[in-house]
Amino acid sequence: MKDTPVRAAWISSVPTFFAAILLASALFSANAAESDNDQESKTEELAKEPQNPVANLISVPFQNNFNFGIGPNDATQWVLNVQPVIPITLNKDWNLITRTITPIAGLYRQYELYYVIGDERDIVRLRTNFRLQAVYLYHLIPATPQRSRALFLDYVKTANELHDRAQWYNELFSNCTTNVRLHIKDIGSARPWDGQILVNGFIAERAYELKAIDTSLPFAELRRLSYIDYRARDADDLPTFSSLIRKGLPGMP
């Protein structure tokens, strides 16, 4: 009779023991699952970092350019551009992003002006899928079919003229954005010259101020919704590439 309480206590402790094991197992499984989810989330965030132009991430992209038919001997020119991107953390909310560019050589007749002609899929995918550059797509309100055709023909005319008579590229007076304005001027649609043309990172904002793109949203929101890198990567080489990157964008017809 004296052993009864001890036996009862031992028997009653058995379920408690197994319950403790089950609880520990459940907690371990939950922690392991949480750890896997955290790791997956971190991996996903890291994969997105290079696609964010203002991420706190140092990158050193290389850009190879091959130019053909250079000079009287029809030489081939290879230009390697090293473009380091270095963020400087100012506080928890602000990063200062530096993109080192040396424009001096482009002022002294070092490069010939040439036009790269390709379809939209080739040109956009080069930047979104291979160079991993941030690309934004806006609908130009003044771009009627008639104006678009006239602008295209003016580009073709200039490309043919460059084939017959070469011209020098100039960092200030004959570059990508200044020549776009010249083509628009040729079809009678150019605005007065503006210094922001030389700071092409602000061209979209300037177009917003001129109401040349959709203004139904604040510009910051319009820019966020007009980012198309994910769309371009998903569309990749599909024949419907152009329609897929435009689907649902603000202001698109």
pLDDT at res. 67: 63
pLDDT at res. 105: 59
Measured distance CA(53)–CA(135) in Å, rounded: 10
Residue whose pair of structure tokens reads 């040396």 in the numeric block: 102
Half-sphere exposure for 134 (CA within 13 Å, toward CB): 14
For the segment 60-119, what is each residue's pLDDT rounded down to a tens digit?
777 766 666 554 556 666 666 677 777 777 777 777 776 665 555 556 677 778 788 888
Beta-bridged to residue 77, according to DSSP, are 67
pLDDT at res. 113: 83
Lowest-pLDDT choice from 13-22, 74-83, 122-131, 222-231: 13-22
Angle in degrees, CA 77, 83, 85, rounded to 5: 170
Backbone phi, psi, residue 64, to 5°: -100, 130
CB-based contact 144:176 (threshold 8 Å): no
Beta-bridged to residue 67, according to DSSP, are 77
pLDDT at res. 241: 94
For the segment 173-192, what is each residue's pLDDT rounded down to a tens digit?
777 777 887 888 777 766 76
pLDDT at res. 175: 76
Mean pLDDT in residue range 37-53: 65
- DSSP letters, 117-152, are ---HHHHHHIIIIIS----B----TT--HHHHHHHH
pLDDT at res. 37: 62
Q: How much of the chain, in percent, has pLDDT values that exceed 90? A: 15
Measured distance CA(164)–CA(130) in Å, rounded: 32
For the segment 144-166, what is each residue's pLDDT rounded down to a tens digit?
888 888 888 988 999 899 888 88
CB-based contact 98:85 (threshold 8 Å): yes
User: pTM of the entire structure?
Assistant: 0.56
Instruction: For strands 62-70 and 75-82, give the pairing.
Output: antiparallel
Residue ranges per structural domain of the chain: 4-49, 52-101, 102-246
Amino acid of residue 65: N
As a whole number, the mean pLDDT across the chain is 74
Structure tokens at 10: 């031992």
pLDDT at res. 12: 44
